[in-house]
């Protein structure tokens, strides 16, 4: 029996992607109905294969740059390729996905008077001059570089969210997500964690861009999804933007060494040129998430890497995941 008090019909755009599929799992586990809308550009049916036939799950092949007319109680807007290889493949489409996608989903939220979540990104800070990054930092972004389609698209999406909030009193929840990893990452998306793990499992050279002294902070997917849920559960006065990420900071070289140790790999380190506009340092200041959501990541890098390695190991050995 449906409990009308607490169960909702929820739209997740980008729900067949890495983060989106984990979010669908979490919402279904809480008893909600989930409509997953995805054009499968970077997402995969295998990410949601286990939900096939689930009575409260529905998959909709849909591109968010086109209008969508459905009835839901809540919207999570995650649709957008997230890795540089994918978002630079068709940069114009990337900007359209962020900007037109946001307009369409905000229009839907406005018509339905429902809360809407935006998966924004630490990339809005660009190559930051402040460290760690707080939400009130405006960023240092190149508007015409290879990463701009993503960075500026996401910045414009944030602008739209806040203008719909001010102009149409929409309930918005904007999360700025920092590097997140875990099972169901795309094996060929060129992200550092998936690259290093796949290379290590194949005993191939680990490709370090630049000297490997640039830093990132890596959040395990389960921690991040917990932050999402807590943010959506806040009252209407909480809009974000709110940083969600793990403040533990590691150099790329340290990550490579950890992955080699945990996989017992024979891989060696291979230096490659640093890509253009590659941020040197990135670390979230999560004070706001601590204070407003009572949230803090719990899973350390080693624990998270072990389960991610197990996922890729199974995938590479042809097992179902």
Structure tokens at 282: 């990135």
Structure tokens at 157: 């999406």
Structure tokens at 272: 């490659």
Of the listed pieces 15-23, 184-192, 229-237, 291-299, which binds ligand UDP according to CB under 6 A?
Answer: 184-192
Of the listed pieces 16-24, 186-194, 223-231, 301-309, which binds ligand UDP according to CB under 6 A?
Answer: 186-194
Distance (Å, whole) CA 285 – CA 87: 26
Q: Which does 65 bind (CB under 5 to 8 A by kind): ligand UDP, ligand NAD, none?
A: ligand NAD
Instruction: Say which of 125, 150, 164, 220 is annotated catalytic.
Output: 150
Contact status: 246 vs ligand UDP (CB under 6 A) = no
Spatial contact of 242 and 161, defined as CB atoms under 8 Å apart: no
User: Which CB atom, from 265 or from 301, has the smaller least distance to ligand NAD?
Assistant: 301
Residue from 104, 118, 120, 267 that binds ligand UDP (CB under 6 A)? 104
Distance (Å, whole) CA 53 – CA 165: 37
Contact status: 111 vs ligand UDP (CB under 6 A) = yes
Q: Are strands 269-272 and 206-209 parallel, antiparallel or unpaired?
A: parallel
State yes or no: is 4 an active-site residue.
no
Could you list the residues that contact ligand NAD (CB under 6 A)? Answer: 13-14, 16-20, 38-43, 63-65, 78-82, 97, 101, 119, 121, 177, 179-180, 186
Interaction mask 196-215, ligand UDP, x per CB under 6 A: -----------xxx----x-
With b meaning 16 or more CB within 10 Å and e meaning fewer, what string describes 282-307? bbbbbebbeeebebebebebeebbee
As measured in angstroms, the least distance from the Cβ of 203 to ligand NAD is 26
The DSSP output letter for 75 is: E
As measured in angstroms, the least distance from the Cβ of 267 to ligand UDP is 12
CB atoms within 10 A of CB 186: 19
Tell me which residues are annotated as active site.
150
């Amino acid at each position: 029996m449906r409990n009308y008090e607490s169960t909702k019909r929820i739209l997740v755009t980008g729900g067949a992607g890495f983060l989106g599929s984990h979010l669908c799992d979490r919402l279904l586990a809480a008893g909600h109905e989930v409509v997953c809308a995805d054009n499968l550009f970077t997402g995969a049916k295998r990410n949601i294969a286990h939900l096939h036939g689930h009575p409260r799950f529905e998959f909709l092949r849909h591109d968010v740059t086109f209008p969508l007319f459905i009835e839901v109680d809540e919207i999570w807007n995650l649709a957008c390729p997230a890795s540089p290889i994918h978002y630079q493949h068709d940069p114009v489409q990337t900007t359209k996905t962020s900007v037109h996608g946001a307009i369409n989903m905000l229009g839907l939220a406005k018509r339905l008077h429902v809360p809407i979540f935006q998966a924004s990104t630490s990339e809005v800070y660009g190559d930051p001059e402040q460290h760690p990054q707080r939400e009130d930092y405006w960023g240092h972004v190149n508007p015409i570089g290879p990463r701009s389609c993503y960075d500026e698209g996401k910045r414009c999406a944030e602008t739209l969210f806040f203008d719909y909030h001010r102009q149409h009193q929409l309930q918005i929840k904007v999360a700025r997500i920092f590097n997140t990893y875990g099972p169901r990452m795309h094996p060929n998306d060129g992200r550092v964690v998936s690259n290093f793990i796949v290379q290590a499992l194949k005993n191939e050279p680990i490709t370090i861009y630049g000297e490997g002294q640039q830093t990132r902070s890596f959040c395990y997917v389960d921690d991040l999804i917990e932050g999402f849920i807590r943010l959506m559960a806040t009252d209407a006065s909480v809009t974000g933007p709110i940083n969600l990420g793990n403040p533990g900071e590691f150099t790329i070289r340290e990550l490579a060494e950890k992955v080699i140790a945990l996989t017992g790999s024979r891989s060696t380190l291979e230096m490659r040129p640093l890509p253009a506009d590659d941020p040197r340092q990135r670390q979230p200041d999560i004070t706001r998430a601590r204070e407003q959501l009572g949230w803090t990541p719990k899973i350390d890098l080693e624990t998270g890497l072990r389960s991610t390695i197990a996922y890729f190991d199974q995938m590479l050995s042809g097992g179902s995941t």
